[in-house]
Amino acid sequence: MNDSKIVVALDYANTKEALSLVNQLDPTQCKLKVGKELFTAAGPALVEQLVAKDFKVFLDLKFHDIPNTVKKACKTASDLGVWMLNVHASGGSAMMQAALEGVDQSHENPYLIAVTVLTSMNQPTLSETGIQTPVQEQVLRLATLTQTAGLHGVVCSAQEATLLRQHINPDFLLVTPGIRPANTSKDDQSRIVTPPDALKLGASYLVIGRPITQAEQPQKALEAILQSIQ
Ligand code: C5P
């Protein structure tokens, strides 16, 4: 059984590099996230390989298209046997409901979550897209839209978790990147939160990349994080 709250981000350029890390990890102690770079290079074959190794896989492709296209993409992604997949909430409720229909057409039963406002965006970059709403208000608006559409959760920063937990159901999943164990490098992340703090703030799953993937002993680094949140 794998009820680990840690999702290791496989930010690699090819199958070989990804598998050399994966082969050092225990599938009962973490889940894996495959994003656009690795998926574009390695394709569905790698995802199926990871699933066959008993890893739970979050396919982070952030679909955003017309509802019919997103529905079919979500059905196809679900058929790969992934544990979680995602879309952009800014595609609107019709697109998110179509995504859910696609997931439901599959025999698999993955979680479907949404991205609200990309955490790389700030007020000026949000405004230049025509949205004058304050960022936090827009995050809450899109998270609420996601919940109403029937999806299972959102990706958000741990800082946003507090606000979201005040307004949404307790079982709505909050999947948070930007996590750094105490005494590790921030890399290019600016607002970071430690694993125990992120869970205290209401996060359901923690997406962690470099503190594990760049560690000399990745499985040891994973175990230390698990111990810190026990
Ligand atoms: O190495 P690190 O722990 O910073 O990796 C975090 C992962 O989470 C990366 O895959 C990154 O793209 C992703 N992510 C993020 N911040 C967001 C959304 C996703 O760091 N707001």
Distance 77 CA to ligand 1 centre (A): 21
Mean per-residue pLDDT, 40-68 = 98
The string of DSSP codes covering the chain is -----EEEE---SSHHHHHHHHTTS-TTT-EEEE-HHHHHHHHHHHHHHHHHTT--EEEEEEE-S-HHHHHHHHHHHHHTT-SEEEEEGGG-HHHHHHHHHHHHHSSS--EEEEE-S-TT--HHHHHTTT--S-HHHHHHHHHHHHHHTT--EEE--HHHHHHHHHHS-TTSEEEE--B--TTS--TT-SS-B-HHHHHHTT-SEEEE-HHHHTSSSHHHHHHHHHHHT-
Mean per-residue pLDDT, 207-216 = 98
Distance 95 CA to ligand 1 centre (A): 24
pLDDT band at 37 (very low <50, low <70, confident <90, very high): very high
Pocket of ligand 1 (CB under 6 A): 9, 11, 35, 119, 155, 177-178, 187, 189, 207-210
| CA–CA dist 184, 36 (Å, integer) | 26
| pLDDT of 189 above 90 | no
pLDDT band at 230 (very low <50, low <70, confident <90, very high): very high
Distance of CA 44 to the CA centre of its chain: 18
Tell me which of 200 and 183 has the higher pLDDT: 200
Distance 52 CA to ligand 1 centre (A): 25
Give residue 2's pLDDT: 79
Give residue 191's pLDDT: 80
Give residue 183's pLDDT: 85
Distance 210 CA to ligand 1 centre (A): 9
Q: Output the residue whose Cα is nearest ligand 1's atom 4.
A: 209
Q: Output the residue whose Cα is nearest ligand 1's atom 19.
A: 177
Average pLDDT of every residue of the chain: 97
> What is the number of alpha carbons within 13 Å of residue 36 lying toward its C-beta?
5
The number of the ligand 1 atom at minimal distance from the alpha carbon of 188 is: 4
Tell me the whole-structure pTM to 2 decimals: 0.96
The domain 6-229 having CATH identifier 3.10.180.10: the answer here is: no
The number of the ligand 1 atom at minimal distance from the alpha carbon of 120 is: 21
From the list 16, 31, 33, 62, the catalytic residue is: 62
pLDDT tens, residue by residue, 95-125: 999 999 999 999 999 999 999 999 889 999 9
The number of the ligand 1 atom at minimal distance from the alpha carbon of 9 is: 10
pLDDT tens, residue by residue, 115-156: 999 988 999 999 999 999 999 999 999 999 999 999 999 999
The number of the ligand 1 atom at minimal distance from the alpha carbon of 155 is: 18
Least confident of 11-20, 158-167, 185-194: 185-194
Identify whether the C-beta of residue 161 lies closer than 8 Å to the C-beta of residue 116.
no
| pLDDT of 40 above 80 | yes
Q: Is 186 a catalytic residue?
A: no
| pLDDT of 1 above 80 | no
